Amino acid sequence: MEYKVMGPDSLNPNVKNTVNTLTGELFLRAFELQKEGKKIIFAHAGNPHALGQKPLTFPRQVMALCQAPFLMDNPHVGLLFPSDAIARAKEYLAMNPGGVGASSVAKGILGVRQEIADFILERDGYPSDPETIFLTDGTSSGVQKVLNLLIRNEKDGIMVPIPKYPLYSAAISLFGGTLVPYYLSEEANWQLDFTDLQKSILAARREGITVQGLVLINPGNPTSQCLTEADLKGLIELCIKETLVLLVDEVYQQNIYQDDHPFISARKVLMDMGQPTSSTLELISFHSASKGFLGECGQRGGYFELTNIHPKTVDELYKVASISVGNVSGQILMGLMVKPPRPGTVSYPRYAAESQSILDSLRLKAHIMTDGFNESENVICNFTEGALFCFPQVKLPEAAIAAAQEAGKAPDLFYCLKLLEATGLLTVPGSGGYDQKEGTFHIRATILPAEEDMPRIMDSFKKFNNDFMCQFRDSDNILPRL
Amino acid sequence: MEYKVMGPDSLNPNVKNTVNTLTGELFLRAFELQKEGKKIIFAHAGNPHALGQKPLTFPRQVMALCQAPFLMDNPHVGLLFPSDAIARAKEYLAMNPGGVGASSVAKGILGVRQEIADFILERDGYPSDPETIFLTDGTSSGVQKVLNLLIRNEKDGIMVPIPKYPLYSAAISLFGGTLVPYYLSEEANWQLDFTDLQKSILAARREGITVQGLVLINPGNPTSQCLTEADLKGLIELCIKETLVLLVDEVYQQNIYQDDHPFISARKVLMDMGQPTSSTLELISFHSASKGFLGECGQRGGYFELTNIHPKTVDELYKVASISVGNVSGQILMGLMVKPPRPGTVSYPRYAAESQSILDSLRLKAHIMTDGFNESENVICNFTEGALFCFPQVKLPEAAIAAAQEAGKAPDLFYCLKLLEATGLLTVPGSGGYDQKEGTFHIRATILPAEEDMPRIMDSFKKFNNDFMCQFRDSDNILPRL
């Protein structure tokens, strides 16, 4: 048949130019192998529950009661639900007349926004106004609303850290703007490189791009570093000097696996800098219950907080938010994340034990995985300071690069395909949406596989990598062991 | 302070040009009056649960169990949940490893898409392929994905029925396209006017617009008519002749309040037309559990089905869907809506009684409200055949129009404000986003207020309208009573 209107050649080129990293050859092959009976370890995406992480009991008890408020009229409810979960569900139901089935105001339920403001005050020591907080269906939805407002045409540029999280490139492409890359310094543990940042701004301007905003991801994704206070301060000063809105993605702020670089919010650093700086930077901060240590990717709840944003711009954001109605139970989940059970309550001991156990296990797995990569020939990996990922560099021998070119594949994709075939471990190559410095090759893997499987996974990785390096060893090009 | 980047004057004009109907004077006044202690009847939006409609028990039992699967390990679970709800929850949890906390594939859970395909087969008598079905966070989200793909620039036009549902105008504006209006015939019970349709296409083309698609809402919103099979057939022929994609919003297909014009899906009419027609029209059909008689606006679950859409275009849609991850519990809700408990199951009697009670009550309220409007001086209202709205025309006296102009307000807004002040009834004027033929004035009200309040609401409307018409009676311009 003919496809007269929506044929693939006549679609919006902004959509066609958008790259989807999750539909390529590697993923199709993984599903094929799975069908053939091979056990696949889906370490390609930060989807914790799919990899066996159990939901936290208390938030899910409250969510269940909000779904079925009639349970609270049942005399047996106390046999299945603790009293504080019941009390909390009643609080949320009272905040939104009609409960989870009734749409809320476009900014989200006021009571939840107040819980978030309280959390920000406790975290940073500076008050937050619930009217500057918008609840979203996760960060991807919030980022899209903001970029939709910020990008007017292809001459508007948004700076994005490389290696990058593909959400940002996809959304910029979708709205027809220009991605302006800045490179993180792998040698310096993926911290910022201010010389490169400045160069990147100048280069973009020379091409006629109006650089509008800068995206920072802290802790990094896929790079997992926690930024130092000094770097954050430097970045804020740069954004003010260069007139950029700072968009800061802090969705992994509670997933920290070391004590040298604690998480510190961009907003706190800004406020610490005092007047007039603290009221000069236009800052938008994102957080999410669909990420973080709750890891509820399938439930969509997040927020962004606006600092120093013009009130009329807030109204325009409200308009965009009104068009895409959000889900109310995700809002409640976000509230439960920022206001967990306090010490002394019925559910506190269990909540504390469960969340500590998740974070302890992630910390252990960050070590096992980073160490495993670093023990592998020609592989070097910065320690996963936070978030959910390892992003090791694999120094591919010339012979492997040549073999990849012969096969018509990017060298890192070639490596990931071989890894998948040999071990069932599904990772993503740096070239598959993350990007990397020219001539370097990386893979991204989540630290999410089960703790008990992790040693075996890293052993099989090491064995595969050893075989691979042997196969393609270039006698005149042997790299030093790390 | 200065707002250097995101000041209101430097934002994306597509967003600035988007009209939000829910932040205007009328709404602010309603909230003010509520704060002052006046009882406000929020009849402005189709948000059933906010107006007291209770959720259906069975879907919410399953949703609660999916939120808290650990309940099913509790020996007392049978005291709070029936066995078929437990079985159904287990089915859904098995369909998406990791449950509601794990994100699904971008098209949505395959098992739910299969349930939808089964529902379509049962409804229309023609099979549907789950691979042509995308689950969405409600229809607004689905419509935006499709329009994003279809609209390339301001020269691309999408035809929208007037009076219209503001979602469509907002989304077209957001993506920078052009809305091409076509007028429904109020005199003919809001059915299609093919002469006007043809004129509208020609007029748009004369202005250099590429007319890409046509939106149809059936049952209508805000106009509530159910389209006849003949009109649907005529429209399909028109779309084929004029090379338009047909986007059909059928979210109220189960909310039908009369027997003369049953709902019939555009897809069934197309299939009934046989080859080659049935494989010629590019058709996208939308449905939702966030609307319909479930009325779960606060939970976001919907789908669209693609008929005769190019496989590569489906891949592009998949890309757009991958960027905005959907919520999984909304997918499950959509499944529960299309596959309710069957006769003979434990939960059937209750489910059948609850859903019948909602539909019976809506049918009764549709009559009370339509009759109440028609019994009012200078007010004429087509019967609410389906959906959730009345959209009566108010023939405003010249003196009222003059008074409105003096107050600097649209005449229908002036009327709605007076109505709100006098009775607490919050409606929306036709000029507030719906549009209407030049020189006519309408108001939109939902039929959702409680059945027991409805006679009193309509009495107070009649009293207000009578007083209003007396106040502004134009001695030389008395309109005949209907």
Mean pLDDT of A441-466: 97
Does some domain include residue B348?
no
User: What DSSP assignment string belongs to B263-320?
Assistant: ---HHHHHHHT-TTGGGTS-EEEEEESSSTTTT-TTS--EEEEEES--HHHHHHHHHH
* pLDDT tens per residue, range A46-73: 899 999 999 999 999 999 999 999 999 9
The structure tokens 């379509």 sit at B120
pLDDT at B1: 57
In whole angstroms, what is the distance from residue B64 CA to residue B299 CA? 13
Q: Are residues A357 and A332 in the same domain?
A: no
Mean pLDDT of A458-464: 98
Q: Are residues B152 and B224 in the same domain?
A: yes
| Closest to A430 measured CA to CA, from A250, A186, A162 | A162
Last residue of a domain, one of A312, A338, A364: A338
Flag whether pLDDT at A169 surpasses 50.
yes
| Closest to A86 measured CA to CA, from B223, B80, B470, B181 | B80
- Number of CB atoms found within 10 A of residue A456's CB: 12
* pLDDT tens per residue, range B396-423: 999 999 999 999 999 999 999 999 999 9
CB-neighbour burial class of residue B65 (10 A; exposed 0-12, middle 13-18, buried 19+): buried
Flag whether pLDDT at B192 surpasses 90.
yes
List all residues 6 or more positions away from B63 whose beta carbon is below 8 Å from its beta carbon: A67, A68, B299, B329, B332, B333, B336
Asked if the interface predicted TM-score (ipTM) of this complex is over 0.90, the answer is yes
Q: Are residues A122 and A246 in the same domain?
A: yes
Q: Are residues A142 and A239 in the same domain?
A: yes
Does some domain include residue B58?
no
Instruction: Count interface pairs A-B at CB distance under 8 A.
Output: 305
| Closest to B318 measured CA to CA, from A18, A439, A296, A147 | A18
Q: Are residues B18 and B133 in the same domain?
A: no
pLDDT band at B201 (very low <50, low <70, confident <90, very high): very high
- Number of CB atoms found within 10 A of residue B188's CB: 12
Flag whether pLDDT at B138 surpasses 70.
yes
Handedness of CA A358, A359, A362, A364 (dihedral sign): negative
Mean pLDDT of B26-39: 93
- Chain B residues with CB under 8 Å of A100 CB are 298-299
A11/B106 Cβ within 8 A: no
* pLDDT tens per residue, range A399-432: 999 999 999 999 999 999 999 999 999 999 999 8
pLDDT at A143: 95
- Chain B residues with CB under 8 Å of A110 CB are none
Q: Are residues A201 and A239 in the same domain?
A: yes
Flag whether pLDDT at B477 surpasses 60.
no
- Chain B residues with CB under 8 Å of A60 CB are 67-68, 70
pLDDT band at B325 (very low <50, low <70, confident <90, very high): confident
A144/B244 Cβ within 8 A: no
**In contact, B212 and B151? CB cutoff 8 Å:** yes
pLDDT at B475: 59
* pLDDT tens per residue, range B339-371: 999 999 999 999 999 999 999 999 999 999 999
Chain A: nearest CA to B212, how far in angstroms?
7
pLDDT at B476: 52
B98/A51 Cβ within 8 A: yes
User: What DSSP assignment string belongs to A299-316?
Assistant: S--EEEEEES--HHHHHH
- Which amino acid is residue B158, in one-letter code? I
Measured between CA atoms, the residue of chain A closest to residue B13 is: A152
A316/B101 Cβ within 8 A: no
Chain B: nearest CA to A465, how far in angstroms?
30
Q: Are residues B322 and B363 in the same domain?
A: no
Flag whether pLDDT at B480 surpasses 60.
no
Mean pLDDT of B254-266: 96
Q: Are residues A469 and A326 in the same domain?
A: no
Does some domain include residue B50?
no
pLDDT band at A319 (very low <50, low <70, confident <90, very high): confident
C-alpha of A218 from chain center: 9
A47/B299 Cβ within 8 A: no
Does some domain include residue A72?
no
| Of residues A5, A104, A296, nearest to B243 (C-beta) | A5
pLDDT at A9: 85
Q: Are residues A457 and A362 in the same domain?
A: yes
Judge whether A318 is closer than 8 Å to chain B, CB to CB: yes
C-alpha of B435 from chain center: 16
Judge whether A386 is closer than 8 Å to chain B, CB to CB: no
- Number of CB atoms found within 10 A of residue A397's CB: 21
The CATH number for B330's domain is 3.40.640.10
**In contact, B464 and B450? CB cutoff 8 Å:** no
Q: Are residues B309 and B371 in the same domain?
A: no
pLDDT at B14: 85
Judge whether B342 is closer than 8 Å to chain A, CB to CB: no
Mean pLDDT of A382-404: 97
Does some domain include residue A74?
no
CA atoms within 13 A on the CB side of A132: 18
* pLDDT tens per residue, range A187-225: 999 999 999 999 999 999 999 999 999 999 999 999 999
Range 421-450 of A in CB contact (< 8 A) with B: none
pLDDT at B202: 97
Flag whether pLDDT at A276 surpasses 60.
yes
Mean pLDDT of B157-167: 95
A103/B298 Cβ within 8 A: yes
Lowest model confidence (mean pLDDT) among A83-87, A163-167, B10-14, B63-67: B10-14
How open is the CA angle A423-A426-A428, to the nearest 5 degrees?
135
Domain hosting residue B427, numbered range: 8-38+353-477
Judge whether A210 is closer than 8 Å to chain B, CB to CB: no
**Mean pLDDT over all residues of chain A?**
94
Does some domain include residue A303?
yes
Chain B: nearest CA to A450, how far in angstroms?
13
pLDDT at B469: 97
* pLDDT tens per residue, range A123-149: 999 999 999 999 999 999 999 999 999
pLDDT at A481: 46
B2 or A356, which is more confident: A356
Measured between CA atoms, the residue of chain B closest to residue A23 is: B319
Q: How many domains does chain A have?
A: 2
pLDDT at B15: 83
In whole angstroms, what is the distance from residue B299 CA to residue A66 CA? 12
Q: In terms of DSSP bridges, do strands B389-390 and B379-380 run parallel, antiparallel, or are they unpaired?
A: unpaired
Q: Are residues B172 and B231 in the same domain?
A: yes
Name the DSSP letter for residue A166. Answer: H
Last residue of a domain, one of A282, A306, A338: A338
In whole angstroms, what is the distance from residue A60 CA to residue A53 CA? 14
Name the DSSP letter for residue A428. Answer: E
pLDDT band at A21 (very low <50, low <70, confident <90, very high): low
B15/A320 Cβ within 8 A: yes
Q: Are residues B306 and B438 in the same domain?
A: no
A442 DSSP β-pair partners = A393
- Chain A residues with CB under 8 Å of B8 CB are 310, 312-313, 315-316
Does some domain include residue A1?
no
Whats the size of chain A, residue-wise?
Answer: 482
Q: Which long-range contacts (CB under 8 A, 24 or more apart) does A259-265 make?
A: A261/A225, A261/A226, A261/A227, A261/A228, A261/A385, A262/A226, A263/A218, A263/A219, A263/A226, A263/A386, A264/A227, A264/A229, A264/A232, A265/A120, A265/A123, A265/A124
Query: First vs last Cα of chain A: how many Å apart?
Result: 59
- Number of CB atoms found within 10 A of residue B340's CB: 17
Residue B141, both tokens: 């989200």
Q: Where are the beta strands (DSSP E) in B57-121?
A: none
B99/A327 Cβ within 8 A: no
In whole angstroms, what is the distance from residue A261 CA to residue A472 CA? 38
pLDDT at B481: 45
Chain B: nearest CA to A183, how far in angstroms?
23
In whole angstroms, what is the distance from residue B144 CA to residue A346 CA? 44
Last residue of a domain, one of A305, A338, A371: A338
Mean pLDDT of A371-396: 97
How open is the CA angle B11-B13-B15, to the nearest 5 degrees?
85
The CATH number for B411's domain is 3.90.1150.10
pLDDT at B25: 85
In whole angstroms, what is the distance from residue B474 CA to residue B325 CA? 57
Judge whether B410 is closer than 8 Å to chain A, CB to CB: no
pLDDT band at A479 (very low <50, low <70, confident <90, very high): low
pLDDT band at A459 (very low <50, low <70, confident <90, very high): very high
Judge whether A316 is closer than 8 Å to chain B, CB to CB: yes
Interface test with B, best of A92, A212, A327, A337 (most B CBs within 10 A): A327
Residue A471, both tokens: 């196969």
Range 27-66 of B in CB contact (< 8 A) with A: 45, 47-53, 55, 57, 60-61, 63-65
Lowest model confidence (mean pLDDT) among A199-203, A444-448, B288-292: B288-292
- Which amino acid is residue B137, in one-letter code? D
Chain B: nearest CA to A142, how far in angstroms?
10
pLDDT at B13: 87
Q: In terms of DSSP bridges, do strands B425-426 and B41-42 run parallel, antiparallel, or are they unpaired?
A: parallel
Measured between CA atoms, the residue of chain A closest to residue B77 is: A80
B74/A324 Cβ within 8 A: no
| Alpha-carbon separation of residue A59 from A63, A75, A300, A330 (angstroms) | 6, 22, 14, 11
Does some domain include residue B167?
yes
B18/A323 Cβ within 8 A: yes
